[in-house]
Amino acid sequence: MEFIVASSIAMMMAAGVYLVLRAQTFPVVLGLSLMTYAVNVFLFATGKLAINLPPVINADAAGYTDPLPQALVLTAIVISFGMTAVIVVMALRAYLESGNDHVDLSAPDQPISKRRSS
């Protein structure tokens, strides 16, 4: 089971990096989301989830579940939602201003020397 979780984290991270390295804004947003999901699954997997155990240690508990990874994942989900909303709005504004969806805000058919001068 650990191999499956590790493989899925690696595949999500690899796909996220591939999409972030593309030159268009929508794949970049999807890539950042995939990388966020991979990190969230990694953090959650580090918690060693135990079933039917209390989240804190008390006197009569035989074991406990570590609440820190769950709290970190919950915080990361909220932060990634806000980050994704900001990136989508910025990408939409850049598209409306420039007329294309390239990350460098220049047309792909122009030579680099003309891109920098405009």
Among 1.10.287.3510, 3.40.50.2000, 1.20.1250.20, 1.10.10.1100, what is the CATH number of 2-117?
1.10.287.3510
Indicate whether 101 pLDDT > 90: no
pLDDT at 61: 65
pLDDT in tens, 37-80: 999 999 888 877 677 777 776 766 677 777 788 888 999 999 99
More confident residue, 51 or 2: 2
pTM of the predicted protein model = 0.73
Phi-psi region of 48 (alpha: psi -120 to 50; beta: other; left: phi over 0): left
More confident residue, 67 or 86: 86
Q: Can you give the residue ranges of every domain in the chain?
A: 2-117
What phi and psi, each to the nearest 5 degrees, are found at residue 24?
-125, 150
